[in-house]
Amino acid sequence: MQYVPFGRTGLTVSVAGLGCGGNSILGLAKGKSEAEAVQLVRAAFDQGVTLFDTAEAYGTEGVVGEAAKQIGRDKVIVASKARMREDGEFITAAQLEAKLDASLAKLQTDYIDIYQLHAVTPAMVEHVEEELVPALQAAKAAGKIRHIGLTETSPHDHDQLTLQRVLPTGVWESAMFAFNLMHQGARQDVFPLTEKHGVGTLLMFVVRNVFSQPGVLQQTVKELVAAGQLPEKLADDPEPLGFLIHESGAASLLDAAYRYGRHEPGAHVTLFGTSEIAHLEANIASILRPPLPAADRKRVAKIFGHLKGVGLDLPTRAKAPKH
C-alpha cells in the first residue's frame, strides 16, 4: 500500500479507501451477513487500507465499528457522515449533535476521525455555515471528532458549486467529491482550492456503472454524441475508451478508471466499493499501479475534459442519502 498526508489534518492515509456504501454496502445488499461484511473490512485492512468511509445513511457504521474494534481502533481512520435532512427539513445543530452521538455508539468509539456533512447542496450552504459549522466545531473541541468535512451531492451539483463556495472559508479539512474519466471538472474547479487550503480529498464516482457495466459506456457515448457533446465518429465506436487498454497502458477499463483518479494531482484517497475479497484485491492493485501514460491522459482530457455529470449514477441497491 501507498500512504500520503491528508491535507493539513496531520493524518496519513492509504491511497485506497474502502467505501462502505454504494451498490453493495459491503455485501449486505447482496445477501451477505454482517459477520461477512466485518471480514471484508478486515481483509481490506490486511491489504493495507487504513481509511474506511461509512455513513448514517449506509447502515454500515456497526460493521465498521466492529471491524475497527477487532483490528484496533488506533490503527484505522474512520470517516462517517450525517444526513442533512429530517422529515424534509434541514437538520438543526441539536439534531446534528444527536446524529453524531448515535454514530459514535454504532461505531463503538468515542471519536470519529473525519465527520462529514452528507450530500450538501448549494442551497444548503448558508444553513450549514450559520447553524451546523458551530456545532461541528464544538464537537471537535470536545474530542468527539478529529476533523471536519463534507461531501458534495455529485448527481445534483455537476458544477461542484458547493465546494467552490465553502472551501475558501478555511473551515473544512476534508472534502469528498466526484472525479472520473468523463467528469473532470474538479481539475479546474476543486483541486486548486483543496491544495490552496490544505483540504484532504476523498474521490468518489471514480468507477460507476458507466465503466463497470457492459454496454453502459457505449449507450452513454451515443447519447452524448446525439446531444452534440462528443464527435460523431464516437457514436458507433464499440470501445470509446479502448485506446487506454494496451501493453504499456491499462489492463482494463476499470484499471484505467482507478488509475486515472488515483494519480490526479491533489488526489489523496480513491474510494472503491466491493462485496468480494477477490474484487477488493483487484481494485487495490489498480489503484497502486503507476499513472496511465501521459499521451493517454492527454487524449482523455482532450476528448472528454469538457463533460460534466457523466458517470454519477446513484446506487441502485443501497439507499441513497436524502437530498
pLDDT for the residue numbered 315: 78
Give the catalytic positions in this structure. Answer: 58
pLDDT digits (tens, 9 = 90+) for 172-231: 999 999 999 999 999 999 999 999 999 999 999 999 999 999 999 999 999 999 999 999
pLDDT digits (tens, 9 = 90+) for 125-176: 999 999 999 999 999 999 999 999 999 999 999 999 999 999 999 999 999 9
pLDDT digits (tens, 9 = 90+) for 24-70: 999 999 999 999 999 999 999 999 999 999 999 999 999 999 999 99
Helix and strand totals (H; E) in the chain: 13, 12
Q: Is the pLDDT of residue 100 over 70?
A: yes
Q: Is the pLDDT of residue 323 over 60?
A: no
Three cell numbers written together for 183: 467528469
Taking all residues of the chain, what is their mean pLDDT, rounded to a whole number? 96
Q: Which long-range contacts (CB under 8 A, 24 or more apart) does 46-50 make?
A: 47/1, 47/16, 47/280, 47/281, 47/284, 48/1, 48/14, 48/16, 48/284, 49/1, 49/14, 49/16, 49/17, 49/18, 49/284, 50/1, 50/3, 50/13, 50/14, 50/75, 50/76, 50/77
Three cell numbers written together for 8: 493539513
Q: What does the pLDDT average to over 293-317? A: 93
pLDDT for the residue numbered 320: 39
- Could you give all domains of the chain from N- to C-terminal order, each with its CATH number? 3-210+253-304 (3.20.20.100)
Q: Is the pLDDT of residue 6 over 80?
A: yes
The runs of H, that is alpha helices, within the chain are 34-46, 61-71, 93-107, 125-127, 133-141, 161-166, 186-189, 191-197, 209-212, 216-226, 253-262, 277-288, 294-304
Residue position matching grid coordinates 485492512: 45
pLDDT level of residue 106 (50, 70, 90 thresholds):
very high
Query: What is the phi-psi region of residue 314: left when phi exceeds 0, alpha when psi lies from -120 to 50, beta otherwise?
Result: beta
pTM for this entry: 0.95
**What residue type is 4 in one-letter code?**
V
Residue position matching grid coordinates 457523466: 310
pLDDT digits (tens, 9 = 90+) for 263-286: 999 999 999 999 999 999 999 999
pLDDT level of residue 314 (50, 70, 90 thresholds):
confident
pLDDT digits (tens, 9 = 90+) for 65-74: 999 999 999 9
